[in-house]
Structure 1
Amino acid sequence: MAEPAAAALGRVEADAHLFPVRVYWEDTDAGGIVYYANYLKFAERARSDMLRLIGVDQAAIWRDGAMFAVRDVKVEYLRPARLDDDLLVTTRLDALKGATIALRQDISRLGAPLVRAHVRAAFIGLDGRPRRIPPAICAAMERLTGNGREEST
């Protein structure tokens, strides 16, 4: 399978992953406003591509018998997005410990906040039991902290 262009994965700047999203018809309700659940899809895409960009291969992790699973999400809907809007999903690492990762994801349009989400995911085996996040993944996640600041274009 061909690797996606780096730009398609977004970019890491300072301590955040930035992921652009365009709103299509399929994302909206009959009024042309983004359906609330689709913000979760935008956030999921951003998290997946963030991991890919920093070198975490989720398919390989799964083949090795583990995966990340969302444990809980808290979402605040501040303003609506509409058809053809260009959005930006900004993902920041809040905490990384043991078997869990906490992320803050903000979705904005032209710098104006639309949605704020706090996501906690667990690293689990395919049997559903928690596992410690492997050191290589923790090291990759350092790119999203003040300790491992690195810019990518």
Structure 2
Amino acid sequence: MNPALRHRVEHVDTDAAGVMHFSRYASLAETAVLSFLHHNGTGLDLFQRHGTELAVTDLHIRYLAPARFRDVVLATTTLERATAATLRARADLARDTGEPLAVAKLVLCAVDTGTGRAVALPAQAARSLKGLTADD
């Protein structure tokens, strides 16, 4: 299941010219990935119950077109790969008309909440993610 995250660009998202600030794309991409995980049974609450959290360790964004004040941005997620401790995901951000705005690629790592060190994904998370990756 891959529901699109919907976000209306508000004043707080924009610069003085009414263009969405570049940093908001990263935030929307991460939110889209976390929403995808939640809708597929692997939300942050699951990680917290196991004493872990997800940390973004790598982020690349290709900007294609500017979003502007009051635009509706849809973000869809593809889980590209899941390893023992990491998730690699892609978030495609587009205007609700279908015009592509940006492509973000993120790597998230499971970390121990106490030490901040990388740990294996909780077993329940690994099971929930099986079959959801693009390379499955």
TM over 0.5: same fold? Answer: yes
Stretches of structure 2 lacking an aligned partner (at least 5 in a row): none
Q: What letter corresponds to residue 97 of structure 1 in structure 2?
A: T
State the distance in 1 between where 2:74 and 2:94 align: 5
Q: What letter corresponds to residue 8 of structure 2 in structure 1?
A: R
Aligned mate of 1:135, from 114, 123, 131? 123
Runs of 4+ in 1 over 4 A off after TM superposition: none
Asked if 2 retains the 8 angstrom alpha-carbon contact of 1:17 and 1:144, the reply is: no
Could you tell me the percent identity over the aligned residues? 31
The offset of 1:139, in angstroms, is 2.4
Asked if 2 retains the 8 angstrom alpha-carbon contact of 1:54 and 1:143, the reply is: no
With normalisation by structure 2, the TM-score equals 0.88
Aligned mate of 1:78, from 64, 67, 78? 64
Asked if 1 retains the 8 angstrom alpha-carbon contact of 2:40 and 2:128, the reply is: yes
Q: What SS does the aligned partner of 1:37 have?
A: helix
Indicate yes or no: 2:91 matched with 1:124: no
The offset of 1:61, in angstroms, is 2.2
Stretches of structure 1 lacking an aligned partner (at least 5 in a row): 1-11, 149-153
State the distance in 1 between where 2:6 and 2:130 align: 22
The offset of 1:143, in angstroms, is 5.8
**Count, aligned residues:** 134
How big is the alpha-carbon RMSD for the aligned residues of Structure 1 and Structure 2? 1.9
- The Cα offsets for residues 53-103 of structure 1, whole Å up to 9 and x where unpaired, read as 222241342243211100010111111000111111011011101101100
Q: What letter corresponds to residue 126 of structure 2 in structure 1?
A: C
Q: What letter corresponds to residue 106 of structure 2 in structure 1?
A: V
